[in-house]
Amino acid sequence: ELKVEQNPLFLSMQEGKNYTIYCNYSTTSDRLYWYRQDPGKSLESLFVLLSNGAVKQEGRLMASLDTKARLSTLHITAAVHDLSATYFCAVASGTYKYIFGTGTRLKVLA
């Protein structure tokens, strides 16, 4: 059964710093998604990664996918307070099932 793990679970960082969140998964998949969740809110789609080596960037966030290593990274560049949220990766297991990672709660300190 597909398992998806993220680390770290909690991340507190200073504004202006860089950091990377890791998403590891246990079985073969070539579709991976990153979502953002603000407290008490829904899941907002950030990135869709559909092949090995895929890289997507939006503002201060960049996501990549290595299907051979079963690893995706979400890199944060020069963090700002507005990026404070919980970030989830989700891995597709066939068409009909998406398994979410454990989530990384990010807090950016001014």
- Report yes or no: 72 and 64 within 8 Å, Cβ to Cβ: yes
* One character per residue 35-74, x = contact with another protein (rule: CB under 8 A): x-----xxxxx--x-x------------------------
Q: Cα(3)–Cα(15) distance, rounded to whole angstroms?
A: 32
* Smaller CB separation from another protein, 13 or 92: 92
* Smaller CB separation from another protein, 77 or 93: 93
Interface size with another protein, residues (CB under 8 A): 23
- Report yes or no: 76 and 12 within 8 Å, Cβ to Cβ: no
Q: Cα(41)–Cα(44) distance, rounded to whole angstroms?
A: 9
Under the binding rule (CB under 8 A), the answer on residue 33 touching another protein is yes
Q: How far is the CB of 18 from another protein (least distance, A)?
A: 26
* Smaller CB separation from another protein, 68 or 95: 95
CA 106, 39, 74, 14 torsion-angle sign: negative
- Report yes or no: 90 and 101 within 8 Å, Cβ to Cβ: yes
Binding to another protein in span 78-97, by CB under 8 A: 88, 90, 92, 94-97
Two structure tokens written together for 69: 């290593």
| Binding region for another protein (CB under 8 A) | 31, 33, 35, 41-45, 48, 50, 88, 90, 92, 94-103
